[in-house]
Structure 1
Amino acid sequence: KANKPKFTGILNGFDYHDFDPRDNKDTPINYGIRNLDMKVKNKLYLQKKFNLTESPDLPLICAVTRLTPQKGLDLIDDVMKELVDMGAQFIILGAGAESIEKVFIKAEKKYPEAIAAEMKFDSNLAQTIYAGADMLLMPSRFEPCGLSQIIAMRFGAIPIVRETGGLADTVRDGYTGFVFKHYDKQAFLWAIRRAVDVYYNQKDYWHKMQIRAMKKDFSWKSSAKKYLWLYKKAIRNRNLYLKNQESEKEKHG
């Protein structure tokens, strides 16, 4: 805490050219801010691909993640039944701990028309999922920066995240996503219910949230500017330090 002023955090960036729904090769139906209504066709594609109930109206929620305890997957497991009960669908893509994989494979078998579990790493499929999903779940225990929520916003999938680390820095509650603070089922479920309520009952506002999220700039260009500012600041501070040292020497002869 004493040295806090000496530290500066800079978010990760990513190449927007590789994650652009307007011309992305892994997006079945390309779209952008001007024709955002076309995004739903990607949802229908995913529903058919994973044998989920085919409906443009049902909220499709996703998680694209490493399967580790850090990612808060126990919370997602805790809300599976509630997600299905509220009429939502859920697709999870990821690989990792076998014990966690089994949890979601079991959920898929229990709710085959509402849940799909792809237990593997597939960067191409990940972008297809972002393109078709309405929301992303990311209830991490801790997250230095995180990229999934940033990519999701680029594709107009609204992130539901825990207020920690880079998630708190990149997602603004009620503006570009939904944020909860305490690491427990009820707090997480409350955030999901808020998101689903806006999705169903405030269509215009949901559309505005998607546009705001898609317009956010988390490119390396933005991060590079912050690095440049930090380097210049470090040089100024160093020069000031040397100047003060020289002055002290002159005072003491």
Structure 2
Amino acid sequence: MTPIRVLAVASEVYPVVKTGGLADVAGALPAALSEHGVATRTLVPGYPAVLGTLASAETLLQWPEFYGGPIRVLGGTHDGLDLYALDAPHLFARPGNPYVGPDGRDWPDNGIRFAALSRMAAEIAQGAIPSFVPDIVHAHDWQAGLVPAYLHYGRQPRPGTVMTVHNLAYQGQFPPDMLATFGLPAESYAMHGVEYYGTISLLKAGLQFADRITTVSPTYAREIQGDEGGMGLGGLLRERSGVLSGILNGIDLSVWNPATDPNIAARYSMEQPAQRAANKVALQQRFGLQVDPDALLLGVISRLSWQKGLDLLLETAPTLLSEGIRLALLGSGDRDLQDRYSALAHAHPGRISVVIGYDEALAHLIQAGADALAVPSRFEPCGLTQLCALRYGAIPIVANVGGLADTVRDVDEAAVAGGAATGVKFAPVTADALAHALRKANLLFNDQVTWRRLQHAGMATDVSWHNRAGSYATLYRELIAAPQR
């Protein structure tokens, strides 16, 4: 098998820097791809956290001026990842969140920052680092969306390009007068170029010019071709449907493994599940909830936003309380939702508890200790928390959308009898339907034989990257075999 060289381009990568699922995918996929004969280098911005992990990295490129200042490209490894870092202090030497300042607003030069990342990826794709000339450039989300555009307008022989959409809601829109700043030709500002309703959309650029488009579940790939799910890009995606596919995400089983997880109170496995109960006790104590093995403990690990349906879960509070369900929620986001959840917890101590923020270790304990995990998203490209829940024996309660629909097998009589069911789905995505699902889950929880069967089926589900990475490797090989670009 001929090795394939892939340059991945991402704005975050776990475990170096993470704000969401993109980082998990960018961090886990390279190792899984290596099993399929794919060697990956990942280009990331040189944030302080990135440079701190690459202290002994090699300088591969050094230019005196690049989008407003001097830059270096550093090459090194961290935690098994082969990384290239764009060290551009004028763009990335900022503490905290990669995208927003201390005031919570987007950095005003985000367009230039990620145009620079994309331009450097295009330079590497054209051979700027002779020791690694890629066969494929794989761009992730809007922050890397200009990579296919730069290569298209460069009008030189180039590698194949793949654009992966992790969430179509984030499109990277900027004023049209930035076209020259981005280094794009005037002709690119057109309907079949980077123009998008009077703006420049970096995501649209990637979708327009990439040789192949992927998104992170088959159902989401269908949803985004519709007018509602397409969020203004449905027409383009329908036009390019012949090169669009959905490949499910996986999770890193070395990170998410209840048999070896250092972040949980007691380790356990599908074959030896008894110690899971100790994690429920530890989770109840950590959140200040009443310790009660007979009460359904519902976990939530989520961004608090309209997309994630967390306003709907708030509306089900009377159901949670009347059913005796306990809630342990970890998340942050919309300030109003944060305040409303905090007020609800204050009004019902011992029954509802909320931790505002994100804590990776606590997320692991929630997966290990919660009886069920709620993901009531209005739309969900793939979702990773429900995959972790399956792995850890927490029963997912999910909206029947996107990747949630593809990864959770609903409870019905036939599925339970055959041992195939792994969770509870609900539709439409309303508070009433969610409340019904919660009551249904509570009824199932009180039938421990059925509940154990659900847990066993979930923990037996393949949520790894192995087969999913194989789909990417196949796509890469098909693209390499295609006619010269």
Taking structure 2 as the reference length, the TM-score comes to: 0.47
312, 324, 338: which one aligns with 1:87: 324
SS state of the match for residue 321, structure 2?
A: helix
Q: Does structure 1 retain, via aligned residues, the 8 Å contact 2:422–2:455?
A: yes
Aligned to 1:130: 367
3, 21, 24: which one aligns with 2:258: 21
Counterpart amino acid of residue 85 in structure 1: S
Q: Partners in 2 of 1:115 and 1:176 — Cα distance? A: 25
Q: Partners in 1 of 2:388 and 2:301 — Cα distance? A: 10
Q: Partners in 2 of 1:191 and 1:2 — Cα distance? A: 37
Q: Quick one: higher RCO (CA 8 Å, sep 6+), 1 or 2?
A: 1
Deviation at 1:6, TM superposition (A): 3.5
SS state of the match for residue 173, structure 1?
A: coil
Aligned to 2:429: 183
SS state of the match for residue 94, structure 1?
A: strand
Aligned to 2:333: 96
1:166 aligns with 2:403: yes
Task: Give runs of aligned pairs for residues 1-253 of structure 1, distance below 5 A.
Answer: 1=238, 3-174=240-411, 175-200=421-446, 202-234=447-479, 238=482
Q: Partners in 2 of 1:196 and 1:58 — Cα distance? A: 9
Q: Does structure 1 retain, via aligned residues, the 8 Å contact 2:289–2:351?
A: yes
Deviation at 1:49, TM superposition (A): 2.3
Q: Give the aligned CA root-mean-square deviation in angstroms.
A: 1.6
Bigger CA radius of gyration: 2
189-198 or 135-144: which moved more?
189-198
Deviation at 1:66, TM superposition (A): 1.0
Q: Partners in 2 of 1:103 and 1:225 — Cα distance? A: 44
Provide the identity percentage.
Answer: 36
Q: Partners in 1 of 2:384 and 2:430 — Cα distance? A: 23
Counterpart amino acid of residue 425 in structure 2: V
Deviation at 1:197, TM superposition (A): 0.8
Deviation at 1:17, TM superposition (A): 0.8
SS state of the match for residue 275, structure 2?
A: helix
Counterpart amino acid of residue 271 in structure 2: R
SS state of the match for residue 230, structure 1?
A: helix
Deviation at 1:59, TM superposition (A): 0.6
225-234 or 113-122: which moved more?
225-234
Q: Does structure 1 retain, via aligned residues, the 8 Å contact 2:370–2:394?
A: yes
- Name the one with the larger strand percent: 2
Q: Partners in 2 of 1:193 and 1:3 — Cα distance? A: 42
Q: Partners in 2 of 1:48 and 1:124 — Cα distance? A: 15
Q: Does structure 1 retain, via aligned residues, the 8 Å contact 2:312–2:430?
A: yes
Deviation at 1:205, TM superposition (A): 1.7
Deviating 4+ runs (over 3 angstroms): 1-6, 231-236
SS state of the match for residue 219, structure 1?
A: coil
Q: Deviations over 1:86-134 (max 9, x none)?
A: 0110010011121111111011011101111000110111101111000
Deviation at 1:35, TM superposition (A): 1.8
SS state of the match for residue 196, structure 1?
A: helix
Deviation at 1:52, TM superposition (A): 1.3
SS state of the match for residue 328, structure 2?
A: strand
Q: Partners in 2 of 1:117 and 1:227 — Cα distance? A: 38
112-121 or 218-227: which moved more?
218-227
- Unpaired runs of at least 5, structure 2: 1-237, 412-420
SS state of the match for residue 33, structure 1?
A: coil
Counterpart amino acid of residue 79 in structure 1: T
Q: Partners in 2 of 1:151 and 1:181 — Cα distance? A: 22
Q: Partners in 1 of 2:286 and 2:450 — Cα distance? A: 29
Aligned to 2:231: none
Counterpart amino acid of residue 224 in structure 1: A
Deviation at 1:186, TM superposition (A): 1.4
Deviation at 1:24, TM superposition (A): 0.4
Q: Deviations over 1:158-215 (max 9, x none)?
A: 1101011111111111111111121211111111111111110x21121111111112
Deviation at 1:5, TM superposition (A): 4.6
How many matched pairs?
238
Taking structure 1 as the reference length, the TM-score comes to: 0.89
Deviation at 1:58, TM superposition (A): 0.8
